[in-house]
């Protein structure tokens, strides 16, 4: 037995789920992903999404609609005769005609413990808020923003120095296994749905560039969470005076440290910087156009003695 599945996803995060569903023997009748976008070194070449590329390697049909406003696009989806739609980080809002266009509806893999962190950036927001755990939830989609009934939950601990990139990779694999398990249960008519709690709703707003600059006047815990929550992308940053010019430096790793002083001032020669309360040690940095470097390697090229101010 196997399900006829329409898979909908776009980034790397979605690819393991697609592959696992294929390996499980399900028939993927179509893959929907966002259209190719300008990219490449000069930003002129159209680049297919990671899901698009994976689907072609698997020999699966791919569709890339800009949206689902066109009645013909909705009819094409319905005519696929799928049992279920599986959605993982697709990036497009699905109208009711799509949500109800398969036998069992659409199920979404969402990277949080709903109703906490509904929305676009649940991985980053969980770390930035200092959460000690998160997870993957398989949810039956409805017209709301991540408001559907939950079918399956898998919790994941967030380590004290774990970055958003590391958590992304962990949840990517956890989510693939969770969705594969949910599809087995769905096929066996053994996938109960539980409404989300009314309390504890938080929204994970998309990361704005304006919030990526490091504010060392905050508590060290908050500064540390800010840095690791934005690593590796888009990256938290500070400015450093170099030859009379302000040079932006991304911080991709940090750890909490002891010490006190004027916020933004280096307390040691190995990148311990004072915060509003306590301090953090910067462990991985990257200059504009350069490679990410461990602190010791960075300091060999850019010595920063104690007393240096970071803005």
- 129 and 223 share a domain? no
pLDDT at 223: 98
For residues 103 and 311, which has the higher predicted lDDT (pLDDT)?
103
- 217 and 197 share a domain? no
For residue 310, being part of any structural domain is answered with no
| Region of poorest pLDDT, from 11-20, 114-123, 151-160, 239-248 | 239-248
Q: Is 90 exceeded by the pLDDT of residue 244?
A: no
Q: Quick count: other Cβ atoms within 10 Å of Cβ 209?
A: 7
Q: What is the pTM of this model?
A: 0.95
**Selection from 109, 60, 65, 67 nearest residue 82 by Cα:** 60
- 73 and 58 share a domain? yes
How far apart are the C-alpha atoms of 207 and 91, rounded to whole Å? 15
How far apart are the C-alpha atoms of 269 and 194, rounded to whole Å? 54
DSSP at 14: G
How far apart are the C-alpha atoms of 203 and 205, rounded to whole Å? 6
Which residues are part of a known binding site for (6S)-5,6,7,8-tetrahydrofolate? 112-115
Domain count across the chain: 2
Confidence of residue 243 (pLDDT cuts 50, 70, 90): confident
For residue 38, being part of any structural domain is answered with yes
How far apart are the C-alpha atoms of 39 and 245, rounded to whole Å? 30
Q: Quick count: other Cβ atoms within 10 Å of Cβ 161?
A: 14
Q: Is 90 exceeded by the pLDDT of residue 253?
A: yes
**Selection from 275, 189, 286 nearest residue 236 by Cα:** 286
DSSP at 197: P
Q: Is 70 exceeded by the pLDDT of residue 43?
A: no
CATH number reported for the structural domain that contains residue 149 in this entry: 3.40.50.170
How far apart are the C-alpha atoms of 95 and 75, rounded to whole Å? 12
- 196 and 292 share a domain? no
How far apart are the C-alpha atoms of 171 and 135, rounded to whole Å? 7
For residues 38 and 10, which has the higher predicted lDDT (pLDDT)?
10
CATH number reported for the structural domain that contains residue 240 in this entry: 3.10.25.10
Residue that is last in its domain, among 153, 183, 203:
203
Range of the domain at 154: 4-203
How far apart are the C-alpha atoms of 84 and 105, rounded to whole Å? 5
pLDDT digits (tens, 9 = 90+) for 115-174: 999 999 999 999 999 999 999 999 999 999 999 999 999 999 999 999 999 999 999 999
Residue that is last in its domain, among 171, 203, 235:
203
Q: Is 70 exceeded by the pLDDT of residue 40?
A: no
pLDDT at 242: 74
| Residues 217-242, mean pLDDT to the nearest whole number | 96
Helix (H) or strand (E) holding 32: strand 27-32
Q: Is 80 exceeded by the pLDDT of residue 41?
A: no
- 170 and 92 share a domain? yes
| Residues 227-248, mean pLDDT to the nearest whole number | 92
| Residues 191-202, mean pLDDT to the nearest whole number | 97
| Residues 4-24, mean pLDDT to the nearest whole number | 98
Which residues are part of a known binding site? 112-115
Residue 240 near residue 288, CB atoms below 8 Å: no
- At 122, phi and psi to the nearest 5? -70, -30
pLDDT at 241: 82
pLDDT digits (tens, 9 = 90+) for 54-91: 999 999 999 999 999 999 999 999 999 999 999 999 99
How far apart are the C-alpha atoms of 64 and 52, rounded to whole Å? 9
- 248 and 189 share a domain? no
The percent of residues above 70 in pLDDT, for the chain, comes to 98
Q: Is 70 exceeded by the pLDDT of residue 289?
A: yes
- 222 and 136 share a domain? no
pLDDT at 45: 83
Q: What is the mean pLDDT of the chain?
A: 96
pLDDT at 25: 97
How far apart are the C-alpha atoms of 222 and 208, rounded to whole Å? 17
| Residues 218-247, mean pLDDT to the nearest whole number | 94
| Residues 28-48, mean pLDDT to the nearest whole number | 87
Residue 138 near residue 150, CB atoms below 8 Å: yes
Residue that is last in its domain, among 169, 203, 237:
203
- 161 and 230 share a domain? no
Three-state DSSP at 184 gives helix
| Residues 83-108, mean pLDDT to the nearest whole number | 97
How far apart are the C-alpha atoms of 295 and 79, rounded to whole Å? 56
For residue 229, being part of any structural domain is answered with yes
């Amino acid at each position: 037995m196997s399900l006829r599945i329409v898979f909908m996803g776009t980034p790397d995060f979605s690819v393991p789920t697609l592959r696992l569903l294929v390996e499980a023997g399900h028939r993927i009748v179509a893959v929907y992903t966002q259209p190719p976008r300008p990219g490449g070194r000069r930003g002129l070449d159209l680049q297919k999404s990671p899901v698009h590329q994976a689907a072609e390697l698997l020999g699966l049909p791919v569709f890339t609609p800009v949206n689902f406003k066109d009645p013909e696009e909705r009819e094409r989806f319905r005519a696929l005769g799928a049992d279920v739609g599986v959605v993982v980080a697709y990036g497009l809002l699905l109208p009711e005609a799509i949500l109800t266009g398969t036998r069992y509806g659409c199920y979404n893999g969402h990277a949080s413990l709903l109703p906490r962190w509904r929305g676009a950036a649940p991985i980053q927001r969980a770390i930035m808020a200092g959460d000690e755990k998160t997870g993957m939830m398989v949810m039956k989609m409805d017209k709301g923003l991540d408001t559907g009934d939950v079918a399956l939950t898998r919790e994941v601990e967030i380590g004290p120095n774990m970055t958003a990139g590391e958590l992304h990779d962990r949840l990517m694999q956890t989510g693939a296994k969770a969705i594969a398990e949910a599809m087995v249960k769905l096929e066996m008519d053994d996938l109960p749905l539980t409404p989300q709690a009314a309390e504890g709703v938080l929204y994970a707003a998309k990361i704005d560039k304006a919030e990526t600059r490091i504010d060392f006047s905050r508590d060290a815990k908050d500064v540390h969470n800010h840095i690791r929550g934005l690593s590796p992308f888009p990256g938290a940053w500070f400015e450093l005076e170099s030859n009379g010019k302000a040079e932006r430096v991304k911080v991709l790793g940090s750890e909490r440290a002891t010490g006190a002083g004027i916020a933004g001032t280096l307390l040691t020669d190995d990148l311990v910087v004072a915060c509003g309360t306590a301090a953090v040690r910067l462990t991985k940095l990257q200059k504009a156009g350069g490679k990410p470097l461990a602190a010791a390697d960075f300091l060999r090229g850019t010595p920063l003695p104690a007393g240096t101010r970071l803005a």
